[in-house]
Amino acid sequence: MLTKIKNDIKYLQFKNLSDFNNLNHFSSTRIGGLSSGKLESLNLGYTVNDNPKNVSDNLDLLANTLGFERKQLVSPKQTHSANIGIVKTENDIFPDTDALITKVPNLCIFIRTADCVPILLFDPVNKAIAAIHSGWKGTIQKISKLTIDLMQKEYGTNPKDIIAGIGPSIGREVYEVGSEVIEQFNKSFGNNFCVTPIKDSKKGLLDLWKVNKKILFDSGIPENQIEIAEICTYSNPELFYSARRDGVKTGRLATGIIIIE
């Protein structure tokens, strides 16, 4: 990924999505905002006991840094579901939703994470985009495949045209999971495909990057059009919030995409 710094805000962009002049996108870090204490400083989540004004101001800062206004931002209320929302206006509300798609220009769809996998999709032929929140529950449900299926239905998207980015999230070297989660992944994707057993333990290390890449590839996206950040949120506390490292009330990162017209 490419590292950008503007207005003291540090954010990341995928190389493959940066090739398109009619597109803007981002994956935020924790640097450059107004939140304080354990949430320092660019917390973008309202559900983590931060001052709501800080969060609103942080969203303003991020939007302005990227060249648009906060009113253009649209995000869902995430619940680790496999539900997908179709965004038609900036006033749309999406409860119990973990992915958004749109082809409306000048609307920035984004999702929040604090270890889970953020995925961005862009169909340059039909000018359609998606932002996906895929934690282990969403990955088991193959939410990214369901999102691609909906883009095909709604916009005529051909998966072979999609440019995809898998953003910063908890890495394969530190994401320890228990036997119940291992069993589900082995059943869905094959024994030890994405799980490395921990010696003398019923636990294992889960590779969400590998399995989400497989889901995208199996859905028809060419491998050379899938970029993986391979940046671990847990292992980089100076840059990222991490629920596994700091608790569920840690700050929230955002990953989003917008078609510019």
User: Can you spell out the DSSP letters for 60-87?
Assistant: HHHHHHHTS-GGGEE-----S---EEE-
Q: How far apart are CA 208 and CA 190, in angstroms?
A: 14
Q: How far apart are CA 174 and CA 196, in angstroms?
A: 11
Instruction: Identify the CA nearest to 84 among candidates 33, 135, 151.
Output: 151
Query: Average pLDDT, whole number, for the chain?
Result: 97
pLDDT tens per residue across span 59-109: 999 999 999 999 999 999 999 999 999 999 999 999 999 999 999 999 999
Q: For residue 195, what pLDDT band results from cuts at 50, 70 and 90?
A: very high
Helix 179-189 to helix 208-218 angle (10° resolution) is 30
pLDDT, average across residues 114-138:
98
Q: For residue 227, what pLDDT band results from cuts at 50, 70 and 90?
A: very high
Domain with CATH 3.60.140.10 in the chain: 2-172+207-259
CA angle 212, 99, 135 (to 5 degrees): 45
Answer yes or no: are the C-beta atoms of 207 and 229 closer than 8 Å: no
Question: What is 2-172+207-259's CATH superfamily?
Answer: CNF1/YfiH-like putative cysteine hydrolases (3.60.140.10)
pLDDT tens per residue across span 9-39: 999 999 999 999 999 999 999 999 999 999 9
**The pLDDT of residue 174:** 98
Q: For residue 228, what pLDDT band results from cuts at 50, 70 and 90?
A: very high
- Cβ neighbours for 73, distance < 8 A, ≥ 6 positions apart: 59, 63, 90, 108, 110, 256
pLDDT, average across residues 143-149:
98
Instruction: Identify the CA nearest to 216 among candidates 107, 153, 139.
Output: 139
Answer yes or no: are the C-beta atoms of 56 and 64 closer than 8 Å: no
Task: Find residue 232's DSSP bridge partners.
Answer: 169
Say what the alpha-carbon torsion angle 10, 44, 252, 235 is, to the nearest 10 degrees.
10
**The pLDDT of residue 234:** 98
pLDDT, average across residues 181-188:
97
* Residue 225 burial (10 A CB sphere; 0-12, 13-18, 19+): middle
**The pLDDT of residue 161:** 98
**The pLDDT of residue 128:** 98
What are the phi and psi torsion angles at 27 (to 5°)?
-135, 115
Helix 208-218 to helix 143-155 angle (10° resolution) is 30
pLDDT, average across residues 173-199:
96
3-state helix, strand, coil in the chain (%, to 5): 30, 25, 45
